[in-house]
Amino acid sequence: AQTVTQSQPEMSVQEAETVTLSCTYDTSENNYYLFWYKQPPSRQMILVIRQEAYKQQNATENRFSVNFQKAAKSFSLKISDSQLGDTAMYFCAFLKLYNNNDMRFGAGTRLTVKP
Amino acid sequence: DVKVTQSSRYLVKRTGEKVFLECVQDMDHENMFWYRQDPGLGLRLIYFSYDVKMKEKGDIPEGYSVSREKKERFSLILESASTNQTSMYLCASSLLAGGGNQPQHFGDGTRLSIL
């Protein structure tokens, strides 16, 4: 079974600075998807960024980018120019190819952006 | 935009009660999911459904059942609520697409307290 590990339960960053959230996973699969989801306080969980394992190029979405290291099974999220609205729980998730019913989530990292 | 609506944001029930949590999505998604979210444990899958009247157990189905009579609605039932079922419950939906690259879309969550 796939497992996803987020080793940082809590992090903080000053507004406008850059922060990196870590995620590692364990799988024997070669093709899969990785996601970062954001859950703001008392608000809906939303998708931040997605990476296909067969793509070597790291995904980017505006201020959000990932560092995908397939051999190391690592998938970190970098947030540049942090904003107060980035304060949230961040979950890393793994999804096997051809099985979109079995998404595995990490325990989450609580990120606080300080003014 | 996908809209996943959970009937209650906060719910307080008593031990032994039968509890219904309702979820409706408006995007004609085939897949629907119920998760439980607990601090330090991330999201754990309770049940999912890939079609009307179809259901599959997730990782922690004990003490729960589900119902999917219509494509847009997926209900989670606590047959006899217990205090260890106090938690945040998240509903999600996704397309049943080949390749499994469809992200899940989440509702706002229901914070359930069992007294």
Give the CATH number for residue B16: 2.60.40.10
CA distances from B3 to A86, B53, B91, B96 (A): 22, 21, 11, 17
Q: Domain range for residue A55?
A: 3-114
**Do A103 and B104 lie within an 8 Å CB cutoff?**
yes
pLDDT (tens digit, 0 to 9) for every residue of chain A, 115 residues total? 679 999 999 999 999 999 999 999 999 988 899 999 999 998 889 999 999 998 889 999 999 999 999 999 999 999 999 999 999 999 999 988 766 677 899 999 999 999 9
pLDDT at position B33: 94
Count structural domains, chain A: 1
Query: Which residues in chain A are closer than 8 Å to B105, comparing Cβ atoms?
Result: 47
Judge whether residue B23 has pLDDT over 60.
yes
CATH number, residue A95: 2.60.40.10
Query: Which residues in chain B are closer than 8 Å to A38, comparing Cβ atoms?
Result: none
Q: Domain range for residue B38?
A: 4-96+104-114
Q: B44, B63 in Cβ contact below 8 A?
A: no
Q: Which residue in the set A4, A33, A46 is minimally distant from B100, CB to CB? A: A33
Across chain B, mean pLDDT equals 92
Higher model confidence: residue B47 or residue A42? B47
* pLDDT tens digits along B49-91: 988 989 999 999 999 999 999 999 999 999 999 999 999 999 9
Q: How far is residue A95's CA from residue A85's CA, in Å, rounded to a whole number? A: 27
Asked if A30 is an interface residue toward chain B (Cβ–Cβ < 8 A), one would say no
Confidence at B95, pLDDT banded by 50, 70, 90: confident
- Listed in sequence order, the residues at least 6 apart from B94 whose beta carbon sits closer than 8 Å to its beta carbon are A100, B29, B30, B31, B33, B102, B103, B104, B105
